[in-house]
Structure 1
Amino acid sequence: MAYDKNVSPVGWYLGSYLLRFIELDDADRNDPEKMFPSWENTVLVKAASLEAAYSKVEKIGKQNSKPYRGGPEGVKVKWEYLGVTEILPIYEEIADGAEIAWADRAPRKLKNLQQWVRPKSAIRQ
């Protein structure tokens, strides 16, 4: 079988989707110039193809977009699903130390690269 970078040989895909926080009664919630808090969530899905993985990630994102009442006043809000941002095939079996994602970065000065690195004491959120 020929190698295809869009196919996971182990059947796993890393997918991300974007949510934005809205107040449902906000008249400006669809203003393209307004700023909104957002989350990009990343999940693992088992799928037969890139397209099937996309569909699964889309379904998960939509399931995480239910209205609720927030804050002391019980304002109607929700994390609104916007869409899938990334689907990446995983090329190795899921195991301790398996590489599941990588990013190609533009060349940068060493001093700038070193600023990206976080010590163990800074890892907690």
Structure 2
Amino acid sequence: MPDRTLRNCRVLVVEDEYMLADELTMELGDAGAVVIGPAGTLEDALALIEAEPKIDGAILDVNLRGVLVFPAADVLAGRNVPIIFTTGYDAGVFPMRFDHVHRCEKPISIMCVTEAIGLVIHG
């Protein structure tokens, strides 16, 4: 992915697996993004969303230590922030309002996730 794709884009990372969050943060940073987070809990994600006036896109792990991330996704959707989900769940877990949201199935490829967030940010 060319660096310009995510250069200066503010990307929220919500992921409770430390190693995966670290890899995503590094890869996004290498692509020129400004990483917000990572947040490992729904509460932390909501606090970051509230504190950040500008978020260009978000990568959301669906299951955060047994808590579903959909409340954070709703807040982001209300702000028209493009999101992608990382998940091991099948489509039946997702509320219909998120049918259109891109999903990266776990185990994920870090490169696929960074490419996907670039696509949803830039349409």
TM-score normalised by the shorter chain: which range applies?
under 0.3
Q: TM-score, normalised by structure 2?
A: 0.25
**How does the TM-score come out when normalised to structure 1?**
0.25
Higher relative CO (Cα under 8 Å, sequence separation at least 6) belongs to: 1
Greater fraction of residues in strand: 1
More helix by share: 2
Give the structure with higher Rg (CA): 1
